[in-house]
């Protein structure tokens, strides 16, 4: 279990508080919210990402990449504003595929949740639902969310994706700024 925490690499800058104040205090594979994606990837790597998606009204763009330096994740997803020449990160996710057995994803989520619960004063909130990207409603998620003092979010999620939309089932650790989270909640899928 201790290895999972090291792999997730959640770092606090304040030793005296168990609850983080700011999303930028966390890292996934050494990357933090507020960093420039160009510190980790070249523009060529970004432009050749496995998947590039512009959200509604081109307010945000995510890049889904293989990250050769990753110790844990098969894919890293970073979200930036398309017009930002500095490629400042507003969201970052680490992904592990579970294409053959979604039950293993749920097992992994349960293990990680137990460890993360120990880092927070309050436990995360659990919810399930349909993935908003799949209009058929057949793709599902199971999520535990931890809201930080600054309104940002840390999540652990299992995605059980419909075969119709050609996305694999996966486990994800996500970090989102409050600004990006509000966009996803109130604008992106409406």
Specify the 3-state DSSP secondary structure of 110: helix
Please give the share of the chain, as a percent, with pLDDT higher than 90.
58
* pLDDT higher than 90, residue 13: no
H or E element in which residue 125 lies: strand 125-130
CA distances from 79 to 123, 125, 162, 188 (A): 26, 23, 24, 13
Section 165-174 average pLDDT: 89
Section 139-165 average pLDDT: 90
From the CB of residue 92, how many other CB atoms can be counted at a distance below 10 Å?
Answer: 26
Give the span between the Cα atoms of 148 and 42, in whole angstroms.
31
Reported as a single tens digit per residue, the pLDDT across 82-107 is 999 999 999 999 999 998 789 999 99
Residue 49 has what pLDDT? 96
């Amino acid at each position: 279990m201790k290895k999972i925490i090291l792999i997730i690499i959640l770092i606090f800058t304040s030793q005296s508080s168990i609850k983080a104040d700011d999303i930028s205090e966390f890292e996934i594979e050494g990357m933090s919210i507020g960093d420039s994606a160009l510190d980790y990837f070249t523009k060529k790597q970004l432009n050749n990402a496995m998947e590039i998606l512009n959200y509604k009204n081109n307010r945000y763009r995510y890049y889904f990449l293989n990250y050769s330096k990753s110790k844990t994740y098969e894919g890293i997803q970073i979200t930036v504003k398309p017009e930002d020449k500095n490629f400042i990160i507003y969201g970052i996710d680490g992904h592990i595929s579970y294409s053959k057995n979604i039950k293993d994803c749920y097992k992994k989520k349960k293990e990680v949740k137990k460890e993360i619960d120990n880092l927070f004063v309050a436990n995360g909130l659990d919810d399930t639902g349909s993935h908003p990207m799949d209009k058929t409603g057949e793709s599902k998620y199971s999520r535990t969310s931890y809201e930080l003092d600054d309104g940002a979010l840390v999540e652990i999620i299992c995605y059980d994706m419909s075969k119709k939309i050609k996305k694999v089932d996966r486990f994800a650790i996500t970090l989102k700024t409050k600004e990006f989270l509000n966009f996803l909640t109130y604008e992106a899928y409406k």
